[in-house]
Amino acid sequence: MSVVAMRGVIVVLLGAFAALGVAVTVRAFMIAEADRRRRDGRRPRRSLAERGRDYVGPVDPRKAHLTPPLRVLVEFCFALCGFPGLGWLMSARMLPGIILMSVVPSFVWGLIPLWLVVSGTIVRNVYTLIIYLPAVALLSAGSLAIVELRGARAAVAERHA
């Protein structure tokens, strides 16, 4: 089997896997929406951001054991290994933390290496594989740092008001 044919097979299999994942996700959302309608009746539908604000999990940010800089450091270290989201969870921001922990590792350790192999980029430069990990870490930890700074400013403004 030639390299071109093998790449084609891999792309077709990846496309089929992605299509199946989208179909399962859409079906799960349809079942959840039907269940919500049955349970809640005709109450107005709330946005995802409003529902996320309602759920902050069991951690109260004022009782967190780590300071904001340490939470950002934890986020950076884990994101540098390809598993972002723990710092977000430690700062009581459950929705972004859960989304990061469930979605990003599949890209970092599954889809991006597969794309590098299929496109032939890995053959030209072996170090391409480790270039995107620091970018993921800086993006995730930087976002958490911005959110932590905004939270600290809001807490100071609330104390002075």
Mean pLDDT by 10 residues, the chain (161 residues): 77 83 85 78 69 59 74 92 89 85 86 81 74 88 93 84 75
Residue 78 near residue 93, CB atoms below 8 Å:
no
Same domain for 89 and 110?
A: yes
Same domain for 39 and 78?
A: no
What is the three-class DSSP state of 12? helix
Same domain for 9 and 85?
A: no
Domain-embedded: residue 33: yes
The pLDDT assigned to 124 comes to 76
For the record, the structure tokens of 126 come out as 């072996």
Nearest partner of 123 among 111, 110, 108, 113, judged by Cα: 113
Task: Give the residue numbers spanning the domain of 136.
Answer: 57-160
Domain-embedded: residue 155: yes
The pLDDT assigned to 7 comes to 78
Number of compact structural domains in the chain: 2
Same domain for 62 and 4?
A: no
Domain-embedded: residue 50: no
